[in-house]
Structure 1
Amino acid sequence: MDDFLIYLRLGFDHITDLKGYDHILFVIALCAVYTIRQWRQVLILVTAFTIGHSITLALATLQLIHYKTALIELLIPITILITAITNLFFREPKSRLSATQPASQTGRYGLALTFGLIHGMGFSNYLRSLLGREADIIKPLLAFNIGLEIGQLVIVSLVLILAFLMTGVFRINRLHWIQIVSGVVIGMTISLIMDNEYLRELLK
């Protein structure tokens, strides 16, 4: 059980680590268009992302799929950039009973699931470096993934609470808030992309 808790903590620390903030940026961009009252839709969205990254995290850790690590490290910030850019096209729904228009909502779930597949391969790079030659990797894999989910839920909760404070308490226009958050994410992500060594090699 001690090993389980160790890997659970490692998963939590990995996704919440401010030094490697790319995954944090993605979760922020993913949830930026929602309010705390739309927690059910956020839960579905997070579940879609979870399914995606859980699949590739398991497959890659078990070495059932292979890929270029450098390419994944480039694709991750690209997924963040695309998600943040889509936020700029968000419009308030005509009906306040839904968070977004049905078509865009379904598309957002698909985006989260697809991009989750890419992020899962990024998570596996770190987990494999921790496992080394360890024989039993199923329990560490499960614990690490649960740790990721706990950390992810903490980030989502903070994003929704901050959005509530800004739009509900300080009365910042919701569309302006989404644009501000997405703009900051876009700026930081472009910096990550430009600093990516694999991209520099491709452009030579």
Structure 2
Amino acid sequence: MSDFWLYFKLGLEHVLDWQAYDHILFLIALVISYSFSSWKKVLYLASTFTLGHTISLMLSAYGIVNVDTKYVEALIAISILITALFNLFTAKKKENKNALLLYITTVFFGIIHGLGFSTYFKMIASGMENKFLLLLEFTLGIEAAQIIVVLSVLVFTFIFLKVLKVNRRDWILVISAIVIGILLPILQETLMQLW
């Protein structure tokens, strides 16, 4: 049981680590347009993202997929940019009508972000006989961390929209622009590493 908490904590801390804030930026961009009334959809999105992670971590842990991290890091930054830009262009809309496309895209971006974790995960899984159990424990930690992040975003959204009476469209535009602003140096750095 102590191993469970060890790997759960590693998954939790890996997402909540401020040095790996690209994961948090993606989650913010993914859910900033939602409110507490859509909490189930937000949790489904976070879980869909985790599903994508889990797929790529499993494929990587068993040696089926092996990718160069410099390409993955660039794709992670691009996925965050696409998500934030989508918010900028759709901020006026009440809600995304094409849920299937949203979930498919979220799984795909989860796969990309999971590949970013794959080197770290392979390091902690090396020499382990039961990688699947380790993956499950680690993934539960990731999911718990993502729930913390998305619930925090929902709380801040509630405070700004309901208490401080900030316009929903403005809130989405400002937060998405902040995400892009934080992301641009990361994107530039990752793209420079490709050349």
Q: TM-score, normalised by structure 2?
A: 0.94
State the distance in 1 between where 2:54 and 2:121 align.
12
Q: Determine whether 1:86 maps to 2:59.
A: no
State the distance in 1 between where 2:52 and 2:130 align.
23
Q: Determine whether 1:149 maps to 2:149.
A: no
Residue type of the alignment partner of 2:95: T
Aligned residue among 168, 188, 192 for 1:200: 192
For residues 72-104 of structure 1, the C-alpha deviation after alignment (integer angstroms, 9 at most, x for no partner) is: 1111111001000000122445xxxxx51423x
For residues 50-71 of structure 1, the C-alpha deviation after alignment (integer angstroms, 9 at most, x for no partner) is: 2211111111112121211221
User: Greater shift after overlay, 40-49 or 16-25?
Assistant: 40-49
Aligned residue among 182, 186, 189 for 1:188: 182
Residue 58 of structure 2 corresponds to which residue in structure 1?
58
Residue type of the alignment partner of 2:194: L
Equivalence map 1:128-143=2 (5 Å): 128-143=122-137
For residues 26-71 of structure 1, the C-alpha deviation after alignment (integer angstroms, 9 at most, x for no partner) is: 0000001101111122122223212211111111112121211221
State the distance in 1 between where 2:59 and 2:193 align.
28
Q: Determine whether 1:102 maps to 2:94.
A: no
Percent of aligned positions that are identical? 37
Q: Determine whether 1:19 maps to 2:19.
A: yes
Residue type of the alignment partner of 1:85: L
* Contact 1:15 1:151 survives alignment (8 Å): yes
State the distance in 1 between where 2:129 and 2:96 align.
48
Indicate the SS of the match to 1:89. helix
State the distance in 2 between where 1:87 and 1:59 align.
31
Equivalence map 1:38-53=2 (5 Å): 38-53=38-53
* Contact 1:33 1:90 survives alignment (8 Å): no
State the distance in 2 between where 1:175 and 1:91 align.
5
* Structure 1 residue ranges without an equivalent (≥5): 94-98
User: Greater shift after overlay, 133-142 or 74-83?
Assistant: 133-142
Residue 96 of structure 1 corresponds to which residue in structure 2?
none
Q: TM-score, normalised by structure 1?
A: 0.90
For residues 127-183 of structure 1, the C-alpha deviation after alignment (integer angstroms, 9 at most, x for no partner) is: 112223333322211110100000000000000000000010000101000011100
Indicate the SS of the match to 1:172. coil
CA RMSD of the aligned region, Å? 1.5
Indicate the SS of the match to 1:63. coil
State the distance in 1 between where 2:155 and 2:84 align.
19
